[in-house]
Amino acid sequence: MRLRLLLFCLVPILAFGQTHRCVTDSLHRHKLNTDEQYKQQFLRNSKLAEAYQLMKVATNDTLYTIPVVVHVIYHADNAAVENISDEQVQSQLDVLNEDYNISNENILDVPAVWQPLVRNSKIKFVLANTDTNGNYTTGITRTATNITNAFSIFDNRIYSTVDGGKDAWNSMYYLNIWVCELENNVLGFASFPGTIANSDGVVINYKAFGRFKNTIAPYNFGRTATHEIGHWLNLLHIWGDDNGACSNDDAISDTPKQANSNTRCPSFPKTDACTDTAPGIMYMNYMDYTDDKCMSFFTNRQVERMKLALATSRNSLVASNGLASPNINQKDISIDSIENPVTYSANRCFQPKVKIRNNGNVTCSNITFNYAISAGISKNFLWNDSIQAGETKWVELDEIGGDLGSNLFEVRIVDNDYNHVNNYKSSSFRINNSSNFNCAISSSISIYPNPVTNSDVLAINTNYTESQKAAIKIYSNDGKLVYSNEFKFNPQDKLELSNLNLSAGLYQLEFNGDINHEVKKFVVVNK
Q: Give dist(CA 512, CA 464) in Å, integer.
A: 13
Q: Is 493 helix (H, G, I), strand (E, B) or coil?
A: strand
Distances in Å between the Cα of 228 and the Cα atoms of 69, 79, 187, 454, 462 are 15, 25, 10, 54, 43
- The DSSP symbol for 243 reads T
User: For residue 29, which amino acid is it?
Assistant: R
H/E run at residue 162: none
Catalytic residues: 228
User: For residue 227, which amino acid is it?
Assistant: H
Angle formed at CA 274 by CA 269 and CA 277, multiple of 5 degrees: 40
Name the residue among 118, 117, 116, 110 with its Cα closest to residue 268. Answer: 110
Q: Give dist(CA 313, CA 37) in Å, integer.
A: 16
Distances in Å between the Cα of 133 and the Cα atoms of 73, 137, 321, 447 are 21, 10, 10, 56
**Residue 281 in contact with residue 272, Cβ under 8 Å?**
yes
**Residue 200 in contact with residue 176, Cβ under 8 Å?**
yes
Q: Is 494 helix (H, G, I), strand (E, B) or coil?
A: strand
Q: Which residues, in sequence order, are bridge partners of residue 525?
A: 453
User: For residue 512, which amino acid is it?
Assistant: N
Q: Give dist(CA 515, CA 469) in Å, integer.
A: 8
**Residue 428 in contact with residue 407, Cβ under 8 Å?**
yes
Q: How many CB atoms lie within 10 A of CB 3?
A: 7
Q: How many CB atoms lie within 10 A of CB 369?
A: 23
Q: How many CB atoms lie within 10 A of CB 434?
A: 12
| Contact residues for 271 (Cβ-Cβ < 8 A; gap 6+) | 277, 278, 280, 281
Dihedral of CA 160/161/163/165: which sign?
A: positive
Q: Is 156 helix (H, G, I), strand (E, B) or coil?
A: helix
